[in-house]
Amino acid sequence: MSKKGFIFDLDGVIVDTAKYHFLAWKNLANSIGVDFTEMQNEQLKGVSRADSLNKILAWGNKNISEDVFKALMNRKNDDYLNYIEKMDASEILVDVPRVLDFLNDQAQPIALGSASKNARIILQKVKLLKKFNAIVDGNDVNKAKPDPEVFLIGAQLLNIKPAFCIVFEDSVAGVQAANSAQMISIGIGDKEILNEADYVFKDFSEITNDFLKELLK
């Protein structure tokens, strides 16, 4: 059995924090007179905080100064942090612990590759931080997904060549990032939406230990 590098996205793969991002962005957008729907929230998945605010401002035709922009980003994040403060292990998505434990048991290196600057706090809250050999989050990257930077840094930290890495992602931009890093991409979600991925599963309950063993060959 060979050593591979397994890289997990956070939001939409390990936990569903999209619902908290939605509430915090909606509060913020509405407070500046901009409508914000769940459909629009879909377009912010995997997108950085600053790029998300830029999209919301564009949807509402708003022009603001740099100082106000920073203040709005901080306000959204404070609100978001209040929501994730209450998170616990019950919010881990189905069968994620089984897959992480299986890979840990096989001594396979595991990294997190997330756009979120709050990734460490969230992993701590749901008590999964210790399962990861490396964490790459929004604080470590200059270029957002679909740029492969986040996953390439992950591979480097795990000391595994990109071609031997496997990425689990729920966003189109994330799947594209994994593909341009020359990694195997596994989409978690809808086959139609994630059609650029090498494999797609609805969730981890569909990913058997036998499938994981195949990836290790």
137 binding Mg ion? (CB under 5 A): no
| Rounded CA separation 212/215 (Å) | 5
Give helix 18-31 / helix 66-84 axis angle, nearest 10°.
140
At 199 the three-state DSSP class reads: strand
| Rounded CA separation 143/121 (Å) | 22
What is the smallest separation between the CB atom of 39 and Mg ion, expressed in angstroms? Answer: 17
Query: Which residue in 7, 8, 12, 184 binds Mg ion (CB under 5 A)?
Result: 12
Catalytic residue of the set 9, 79, 101, 190: 9
95 an active-site residue? no
Structure token pair of residue 132: 């990861």
- 142-171 mask for Mg ion (x: CB under 5 A)? ----------------------------xx
101 an active-site residue? no
Query: Which residue in 4, 45, 125, 131 binds ligand B16 (CB under 6 A)?
Result: 45
Q: Answer whether 196's CB lies under 8 Å from 170's CB.
A: no
Residue keyed to tokens 């990913």 = 207
What is the smallest separation between the CB atom of 187 and Mg ion, expressed in angstroms? Answer: 11
Kindly state the number of chain residues that form the binding site for ligand B16, as judged by CB under 6 A.
20
Which residues on adjacent β-strands are paired with residue 134? 111
- 50-89 mask for Mg ion (x: CB under 5 A)? ----------------------------------------
Omega before residue 146 within 30° of 0, cis: yes
Stretch that binds ligand B16, among 98-106, 116-124, 157-165, 195-203 (CB under 6 A): 116-124
C-alpha triplet 9, 21, 70: angle, nearest 5°: 105
4 binding ligand B16? (CB under 6 A): no
Which residues on adjacent β-strands are paired with residue 165? 5
Catalytic positions, please? 9, 11
Positions that interact with ligand B16 (CB under 6 A): 9-12, 21, 44-49, 52, 77, 114-118, 138, 171
